[in-house]
């Protein structure tokens, strides 16, 4: 008789590599998804003078930082026992992705290790279920509703049996992007989310009101649109006095009120589709991830929503909200368990999201699930 324990999916001790944007990250996870080491080298200081990420600078930084981080991971937990390599293939900055994918493919090939290419969003989707206290990763729930909010994405996904389906999208700017743009206009620096979040604590969130966008396409009724909010907030800021602020460390009270009202509006709009999605899709768990999932108001309100709705809300540890390699390693483990491995000699990086049901004729992602569960 066969041993039932050997018939389950194979689990691997995994090295994860993430270089899709402006953070170089390396992590090692045990086969059960517990995080042994999670290292991130931030490039924020290199990009701050430009108020955004400069692709060429990002790629060069990855090239320098990746060997350094791998040496540190080797010193901390040893890389000889690694059994699987997981690397972000896309979407992201192509030069940055090429550094990570070329490195991982060469490493896997030279050592004869299995390799799995992971979609960056797949990483964000599993990050709420990864812990940083040494405990095993939680198995992804059968039916989780996950709000992914970052500098590049603002979408609800249904994660069902490991298969992610996008449910809505932003018609223009991503939520993190408008935090960054407002911050830049005020002279508060980059990235904007953390500083706006902190200053908003000192303001009155009811001081300013913003008009919610109206999306006419009925199939996009649950879509987001944030560019109008960005423009309105910047216009109001201009009306409050000269920009950039003379003393960004201690903005006037009216600016704090504006930031608090802005932050309140972003979380209002992000949470607006929640009741309808839960009603239609009946998830067992609601989670959020991505850089904006570090936002203290969004976290508080989502937890309060969960208590009143009687649904479990899972928030990732703060260090796993922004880009990291632990989430990539975990997504790689789940892919490998489903038997999806990549040939190191054929691994291709891609700059744009190629969601399952594909891209449109011009290579732009389409969001099939808009039409699927909403029909
Ligand atoms: O996930 P992430 O590291 O990179 C992308 O894939 O985009 O997200 C970075 C974004 C930035 O726009 C940053 O301003 C935003 O997340 N962010 C926040 C907070 N912390 C980071 N936005 C709002 N509140 C925060 N506390
Ligand atoms: Zn990200």
Q: Could you say which ligand is closest to the alpha carbon of residue 121?
A: 2
Q: Is 91 in the pocket of ligand 1 (CB under 6 A)?
A: no
**CA nearest to 291, candidates 153, 87, 195, 86:** 153
Sign of CA dihedral 107, 354, 176, 96: positive
- How close is the Cα of 191 to the center of ligand 1, in Å? 7
Q: Is 194 in the pocket of ligand 1 (CB under 6 A)?
A: yes
Domain 163-314 has CATH 3.30.420.40: yes
Q: Is 295 in the pocket of ligand 1 (CB under 6 A)?
A: yes
Residue nearest to atom 16 of ligand 1 (CA): 291
More confidently predicted of 366 and 147: 147
- How close is the Cα of 30 to the center of ligand 1, in Å? 27
Q: Is 179 in the pocket of ligand 1 (CB under 6 A)?
A: yes
- Specify whether the CB–CB gap between 92 and 120 falls below 8 A: yes
**pLDDT value of residue 222:** 86
- How close is the Cα of 254 to the center of ligand 2, in Å? 32
Q: Is 316 in the pocket of ligand 1 (CB under 6 A)?
A: no
**pLDDT value of residue 319:** 96
Q: Model confidence over 248-271: pLDDT tens digits?
A: 999 999 999 999 999 999 999 999
At residue 357, does pLDDT exceed 70?
A: no
Q: Model confidence over 269-311: pLDDT tens digits?
A: 999 999 999 998 899 999 999 999 999 999 999 999 999 999 9
- How close is the Cα of 87 to the center of ligand 1, in Å? 21
Q: Model confidence over 123-159: pLDDT tens digits?
A: 999 999 999 999 999 988 889 999 999 998 899 998 8
At residue 191, does pLDDT exceed 80?
A: yes
- Specify whether the CB–CB gap between 333 and 29 falls below 8 A: yes
Q: Is 193 in the pocket of ligand 1 (CB under 6 A)?
A: yes
Residue 48 to residue 194: CA distance in whole angstroms: 14
**pLDDT value of residue 340:** 87
- How close is the Cα of 290 to the center of ligand 1, in Å? 7
Q: Model confidence over 198-245: pLDDT tens digits?
A: 999 999 999 999 999 987 766 677 889 999 999 999 999 999 999 999
Q: Is 180 in the pocket of ligand 1 (CB under 6 A)?
A: yes
Residue of 122, 292, 323, 328 with the most ligand 1 atoms within 8 Å of its CB, for mutation: 292
Q: What is the fold, at CATH topology level, of the domain defined by 14-141+322-352?
A: Nucleotidyltransferase; domain 5 (3.30.420)
Residue nearest to atom 7 of ligand 1 (CA): 151
Q: Is 90 in the pocket of ligand 1 (CB under 6 A)?
A: no
**pLDDT value of residue 373:** 33
**CA nearest to 54, candidates 21, 12, 28:** 21
**Mean of per-residue pLDDT scores for the chain:** 89
Prediction pTM value: 0.90
- How close is the Cα of 150 to the center of ligand 1, in Å? 5
Residues of the chain with CATH 3.30.420.40: 14-141+322-352, 163-314
With cut-offs at 50, 70 and 90, classify the pLDDT of residue 9: low
């Amino acid at each position: 008789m066969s041993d039932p324990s050997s018939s389950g999916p194979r689990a691997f001790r995994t090295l994860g590599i993430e270089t899709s944007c402006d953070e170089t990250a390396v992590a090692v996870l045990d086969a059960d998804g517990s995080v042994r080491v999670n290292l991130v080298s931030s490039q924020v200081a290199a990009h701050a003078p430009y108020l955004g990420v400069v692709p060429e600078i990002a790629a060069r930084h990855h090239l320098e930082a990746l060997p350094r981080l791998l040496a540190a991971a080797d010193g901390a937990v040893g890389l000889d026992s690694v059994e699987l390599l997981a690397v972000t293939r896309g979407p992201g900055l192509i030069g940055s992705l090429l550094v990570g994918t070329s490195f991982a493919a060469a490493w896997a090939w030279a050592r004869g290790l299995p390799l799995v290419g992971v979609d960056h969003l797949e990483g964000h989707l599993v990050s709420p279920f990864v812990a940083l206290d040494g405990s095993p990763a939680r198995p992804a729930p059968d039916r989780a509703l996950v709000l992914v909010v970052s500098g590049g994405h603002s979408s609800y996904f249904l994660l069902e049996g490991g298969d992610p389906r996008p449910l809505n999208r932003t018609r223009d700017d991503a939520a993190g992007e408008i935090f960054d743009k407002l911050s830049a206009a005020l002279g508060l620096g980059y990235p904007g989310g953390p500083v706006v979040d902190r200053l908003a604590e000192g303001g009155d969130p009811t001081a300013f009101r913003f008009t919610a966008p109206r999306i006419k396409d009925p199939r996009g009724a649950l879509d987001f649109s944030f560019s109008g909010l960005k423009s309105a907030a910047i216009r109001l800021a201009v009306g409050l006095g000269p920009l950039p602020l003379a003393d960004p460390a201690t903005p006037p009270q009216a600016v704090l009120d504006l930031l608090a009202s802005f932050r309140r509006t972003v979380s209002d709009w992000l949470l607006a589709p929640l009741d309808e999605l839960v009603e239609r899709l009946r998830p067992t768990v609601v989670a959020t991830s991505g850089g904006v999932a570090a936002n203290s108001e969004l976290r508080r309100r989502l937890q309060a929503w969960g208590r009143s709705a009687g649904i479990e809300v899972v928030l990732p540890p703060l260090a796993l909200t922004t880009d990291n390699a632990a989430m990539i390693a975990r997504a790689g483990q789940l892919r490998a368990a489903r038997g999806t491995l990549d040939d190191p000699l054929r691994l291709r990086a891609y700059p744009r999201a190629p969601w399952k049901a594909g891209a449109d004729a011009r290579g732009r992602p389409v969001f099939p699930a808009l039409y699927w569960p909403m029909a």
